Amino acid sequence: MSEIIRFENVSFAYDENAPEALRGVSLGIERGSFTAVLGHNGSGKSTLAKHMNAILLPTRGRVLVNGTDTADESALLKIRSTVGMVFQNPDNQIVASIVEDDVAFAPENLGVPSAEIRRRVDAALECVGMYDYRLHAPHLLSGGQKQRVAIAGVIAMQPECIVLDEPTAMLDPAGRREVLSAVEAMRRERGMTVVLITHHMDECVGADRLLVMSGGEVAMDGTPHEVFSHPAELHALGLTVPDTRLLLDGLAAEGWDLPADALTVSECARVIADFMLKEKREKCLHRP
């Protein structure tokens, strides 16, 4: 795999006197990978995200997208059509009064021919499960539906990479699930590179890689299994471990001998079911 985004010793301050919001960040995002970024408020997640498609430019260091420096003004369109961005508030991202017009907005601005736009809009709405709502008014949809329309708008631009900055923060649990399954569909059906910024631990467990930001630096970097096996270090950064991990630790404290590395709900359910089956079998064997 090759890298689609590279940060080279990137520092950034919002103004001359402000403390740096990014401090010497170096990292690469592999093409086709799913990276989650976690960190408490103010740790620099959004600042990091905005460097990925030239919304912000480094104060020092540089960011390369497919090898092109994001500071190269003549490459701005190319960079923006390679890396798409979804923000926290779906209401701020809706521009049209009909769902399909909204999704068509960005590709229209990129000058895509209209037959091709039709095809892209339908495919993008299918991908996020919003095709049946194509003629609806976006402002009447639920938060989760609006956010899926915003994601469809980015998919319709056909970027190689999508960066989502806390896309579920303003949604209820049902909306969160809808958005996460749209992200999953995008990866599965389109092989897109995904960077998901979140403060929900459990949204990170399916990622290939987890970056933890603190004070403008990458404080931890590894697979979710690796990162979540350092609860004390996470705690020091103001974070905790996923509920699945807390459940397994709690059961272990009660004397259940369980593998502690199950993170997703289905992995967790499987290790608990396996344990209970084993217990049951042993009880049967030892019955007088």
- Residue ranges binding ligand ADP (CB under 6 A): 14, 18, 21, 39, 41-47
Please say which residue, 1 or 18, places its beta carbon nearer to ligand ADP: 18
Please say which residue, 70 or 198, places its beta carbon nearer to Mg ion: 198
Q: What separation in angstroms does the CA of 68 have from each of 80, 82, 158, 273?
A: 12, 11, 18, 50
CB of 60: closest distance to ligand ADP in angstroms?
Answer: 16
Pick from Mg ion, ligand ADP, none: which does 193 bind, CB < 5 to 8 A by kind? Answer: none
CB of 51: closest distance to ligand ADP in angstroms?
Answer: 10
Query: What span, in angstroms and rounded, lies between the C-alpha atoms of 9 and 27?
Result: 8
Pick from Mg ion, ligand ADP, none: which does 238 bind, CB < 5 to 8 A by kind? Answer: none
223 SS3 class: coil
Query: What span, in angstroms and rounded, lies between the C-alpha atoms of 234 and 243?
Result: 14
CB of 133: closest distance to ligand ADP in angstroms?
Answer: 30
Please say which residue, 46 or 214, places its beta carbon nearer to Mg ion: 46
CB of 205: closest distance to Mg ion in angstroms?
Answer: 20
Pick from Mg ion, ligand ADP, none: which does 42 bind, CB < 5 to 8 A by kind? Answer: ligand ADP
| Phi, psi angles (nearest 5°) of residue 194 | -120, 130
Tell me the Ramachandran region of residue 221: left when phi exceeds 0, alpha when psi lies from -120 to 50, beta otherwise. beta
CB of 80: closest distance to ligand ADP in angstroms?
Answer: 20
Answer for which of 43, 46, 147, 193 binds Mg ion (CB under 5 A) is 46
Are 136 and 101 in contact by the 8 Å Cβ rule? The answer is no
DSSP H or E stretch at residue 83: strand 83-86
Count of chain residues binding Mg ion (CB under 5 A): 2
Query: What span, in angstroms and rounded, lies between the C-alpha atoms of 143 and 170?
Result: 8
43 interacts with Mg ion by CB under 5 A: no
Are 4 and 163 in contact by the 8 Å Cβ rule? The answer is no
214 interacts with Mg ion by CB under 5 A: no
Please say which residue, 56 or 271, places its beta carbon nearer to Mg ion: 56
